[in-house]
């Protein structure tokens, strides 16, 4: 698997497997299959409700000798309520316990709300003590990322944000390169929104190489130097999505994809009042 070196020297696989929206009773099997197929980067979050099952799938793969813990790169995330320093410290411990792991390879602040500075202090301490190899943020817009880098001694290694053909984040990538914060793409397929998988431009690009739309999109992210997470519960699609290292998109292909950019989220704006309201309600739900 191709890797990318983060700003603290840690090497991270460039393509990974995400478990968001995988039902709890299917997660362990999906994670196990993904590892068997060749994925080494696995992405979950406390708010996904399937950290334990993700850990179960990892344990099975290790127990069966498919991989060792060192071969894997495991990510989880801290939700808003868990942000204040002491709570964040406990949440890190809880994620480790629930997943049955001694350390996580990457831990992220999931949303740019709540006491992100308190959370960061706890994460920096956990990184120093070896519980977290890399730490980062998620869903921080470039302006917020710059503020966060400016006000902390330790800068994030990663910002996990939405990147797909409808929301290409070209300007954001330049800002992240300037500050040496690596972009990791969530929803690379925009979860199929705007009929991504049957898009004519992407299909025609793929036909030149005998590749599918999904493969074109992931290859495009690899060539942009972006880490990408793909999710599928189907082993045949998991195989398809990882089979992207034997072809190269041309400059012309890139120009055609560039023309698809709508420059806005295929889902929602993280700063929209109704979205923040939803986060707050979700936060209260998790407290119950
Ligand atoms: N930090 C954040 O706030 C955040 C937000 C969203 C996601 N994420 C992370 O990013 C990961 C990926 O994002 P996502 O799951 O939202 O969306 P995604 O990967 O863009 O899309 C997943 C959807 O595409 C389908 N699919 C996958 N491969 C396909 C293929 N080759 N052909 C046709 N359909 C295919 C899947 O269906 P099947 O499963 O039925 O195959 C699923 O419905 C998540 O799992 C999560 O780890 C993070």
pLDDT digits (tens), the chain, 288 positions = 899 999 999 999 999 999 999 999 999 999 999 999 999 999 999 999 999 999 999 999 999 999 999 999 999 999 877 668 888 999 999 999 999 999 999 999 999 998 999 999 999 999 999 999 999 999 999 999 999 999 999 999 999 999 999 999 999 999 999 999 999 999 999 999 999 999 999 999 999 999 999 999 999 999 999 999 999 999 999 999 999 999 999 999 999 999 999 999 999 888 899 988 988 888 777 766
Strand partners, 74: 42
How many whole angstroms from 19 Cα to the centroid of ligand 1?
A: 8
Name the residue of 41, 232, 269 to mutate for ligand 1: max ligand atoms within 8 A of Cβ.
232
Q: What is the total count of domains within the chain? A: 1
Please identify which of the residues 48, 103, 113, 209 carries the catalytic annotation.
Answer: 48
CA–centroid distance, residue 44 to ligand 1 (Å): 12
Q: Classify residue 198 by its DSSP letter.
A: G
Question: Would you call 168 helix, strand, or coil by DSSP?
Answer: coil
Query: What's the 17 CA to ligand 1 centre distance in angstroms?
Result: 9
Domain harbouring 145, CATH code: 3.20.20.100
Residues 6+ apart with CB under 8 A from 184: 136, 158, 159, 160, 161, 226, 227, 228, 229
Active site residue 107: no
SS3 content of the chain, % helix, strand, coil (to 5): 50, 15, 35
* Domain housing 11: 3-287
**Which of the listed residues 187, 190, 214 should we mutate to test ligand 1's pocket, taking the one with most ligand atoms within 8 A of CB?**
187
């Amino acid at each position: 698997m191709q890797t990318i070196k983060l700003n603290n020297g840690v090497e991270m696989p460039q393509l990974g497997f995400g478990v968001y929206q995988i039902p709890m009773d299917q997660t362990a099997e999906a994670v196990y299959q993904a590892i068997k197929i060749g994925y080494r980067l696995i992405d979950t979050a406390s708010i996904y409700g399937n950290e334990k099952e993700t850990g179960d799938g990892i344990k099975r793969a290790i127990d069966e000798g498919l991989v060792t813990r060192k071969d894997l790169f495991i990510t989880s995330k801290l939700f808003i309520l868990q942000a204040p320093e002491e709570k964040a410290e406990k949440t890190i411990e809880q994620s480790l316990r629930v997943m049955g792991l001694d350390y996580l390879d990457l831990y992220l602040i999931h949303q740019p709300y709540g006491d992100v500075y308190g959370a960061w202090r706890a994460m920096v301490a956990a990184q120093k003590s070896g519980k977290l190899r890399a730490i980062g943020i998620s869903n921080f817009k470039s302006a917020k990322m710059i503020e966060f880098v400016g006000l902390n001694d330790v800068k994030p290694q990663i910002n996990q944000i939405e990147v797909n053909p409808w929301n290409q984040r070209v300007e954001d990538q330049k800002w992240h390169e300037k500050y040496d914060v690596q972009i990791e793409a969530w929803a690379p397929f925009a979860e199929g929104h705007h009929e991504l998988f049957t898009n004519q431009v992407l299909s025609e690009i793929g036909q030149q190489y005998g590749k599918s739309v999904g493969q074109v999109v992931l290859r495009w992210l690899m060539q942009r130097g972006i880490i990408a997470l793909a999710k599928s519960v189907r082993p045949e699609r998991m195989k398809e999505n990882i089979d992207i290292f034997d072809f190269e998109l041309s400059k012309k292909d890139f120009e055609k994809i560039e023309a698809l950019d709508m420059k806005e989220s295929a889902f929602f704006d993280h700063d929209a009042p109704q979205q923040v309201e939803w986060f707050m309600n979700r936060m209260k739900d998790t407290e119950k």
